């Protein structure tokens, strides 16, 4: 409204001393009633406006959070951000699309060292690893001294093996190297068969060791040993099968591929470990024998490696070093990989 309000005037005829306060109260009563109605309505309206405004801010805040994830949440390695994005990718529903491809994780050292440019070059291949001897053989002399037929003669089932002067047994050395090589070969896709895994009381006999590889139809086999030659001799050598055809033995089909495996193993082992060729063999780290049952009875390509002379102080020190044994295992795995993929 835009009209004027007439100012309040005192009536000169009114002599009652209480009349003036009463008139003032009567004049203000409508305004007070109006305020009593208007103020609560205004307060309710203001509170309602605040609630709506806060709700709008919350909705806006949540929408912004969904639309713009922080760098730390969305891209930090290991926080699941990539997996979350892949789950909503159109390709994730297609098993042949990019989402089905393996992740580009850094390859393991053994896989990176695999010849052939792939991290599983031995998929579908079977490898026999034969850790020589057994630490329990010394307690089972009757069993290991039993003679077995190796085709062109009879030999003891097994022997105790040798050791360093400090007492490190050949059987412990061979099993450790084989376990290390097994991990590398398995990473490369191979099926690895062991003739014994440290869980037998003794043995197995040499004829059983050959039979395990034959029954597994191994693509290649290596028997790992350490020599017990005179202390003056040092170095390693690889033993390959001679041609033997007698009784249960017939190496005719494996001589040539075994020689190829033996040459690869010799060269790779020397390059990988720095170990020299055996000074007491005189054949550039190679030997061919017809008196080893593990070779005579094998129907699959197979070689022996004498990784060093445990009676020689220098060789013994190297073979007692876990890092050197890892290099030996790496060389063994690399040679088998080259043979099977070459």
Catalytic residues: 306
Place of tokens 């020397």: 270
Backbone angles phi, psi at 7, to 5 degrees: -70, 150
Helix (H), strand (E) at residue 327: helix 322-341
Angle between helices 255-273 and 322-341 (to 10 degrees): 140
**Environment class of 93 (CB within 10 Å of its CB; exposed 0-12, middle 13-18, buried 19+):** exposed
Q: Where are the beta strands (DSSP E) in the chain?
A: 126-131, 147-149, 154-156, 191-194, 220-227, 237-241, 245-246, 249-250, 286-289, 302-309
How far is the C-alpha of 127 from the C-alpha of 336, rounded, in Å?
A: 8
DSSP secondary structure letter of residue 139: G
CA-based nearest residue to 329, from 196, 198, 175:
175
- The sign one gets for the Cα dihedral 325, 265, 257, 339 is positive
How far is the C-alpha of 276 from the C-alpha of 237, rounded, in Å?
A: 9
Spatial CB neighbours of 282, under 8 Å, sequence gap ≥ 6: none
Beta-ladder partners of 225: 306
């Amino acid at each position: 409204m835009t009209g004027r309000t007439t100012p309040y005037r005192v009536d000169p005829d009114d002599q009652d001393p209480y009349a003036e306060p009463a008139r003032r109260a009567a004049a203000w009563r409508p305004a007070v009633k109006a305020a009593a109605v208007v103020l609560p309505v205004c307060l309710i309206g203001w509170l309602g406006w605040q609630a709506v405004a806060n709700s709008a801010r919350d909705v806006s805040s949540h929408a912004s959070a969904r639309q713009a994830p922080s760098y730390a949440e969305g891209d930090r390695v290991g926080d699941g951000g990539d997996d979350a994005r892949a789950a909503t990718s159109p390709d994730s529903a297609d098993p042949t699309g990019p989402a089905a491809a393996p992740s580009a994780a850094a390859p393991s050292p053994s896989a990176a060292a695999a010849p052939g440019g792939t991290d599983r070059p031995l998929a579908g291949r079977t490898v026999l690893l034969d850790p020589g001897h057994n630490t329990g053989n010394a307690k089972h002399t009757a069993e290991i001294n039993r003679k077995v037929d190796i085709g062109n003669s009879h030999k003891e089932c097994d022997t105790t093996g040798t050791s360093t002067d400090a007492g490190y047994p050949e059987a412990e050395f061979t099993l450790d190297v084989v376990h290390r090589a097994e991990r590398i070969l398995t990473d490369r896709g191979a099926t690895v068969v062991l003739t014994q895994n440290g869980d037998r009381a003794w043995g197995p006999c040499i004829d059983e060791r050959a039979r395990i590889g034959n029954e597994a139809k191994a693509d290649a086999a290596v028997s790992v040993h350490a020599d017990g030659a005179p202390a003056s001799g040092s170095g390693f050598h690889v033993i390959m099968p001679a041609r033997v055809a007698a009784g249960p033995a017939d190496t005719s089909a494996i001589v040539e591929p075994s020689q190829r495996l033996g040459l690869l193993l010799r060269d790779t082992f020397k390059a990988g470990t720095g170990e020299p060729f055996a000074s007491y063999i005189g054949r550039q780290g190679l030997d061919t024998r017809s008196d080893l049952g593990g070779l005579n009875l094998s129907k699959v390509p197979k070689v022996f490696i004498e990784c060093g002379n445990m009676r020689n102080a220098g060789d013994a020190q190297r073979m007692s070093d876990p890092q050197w044994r890892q290099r030996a295992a790496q060389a063994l795995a690399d040679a088998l990989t080259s043979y099977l993929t070459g």
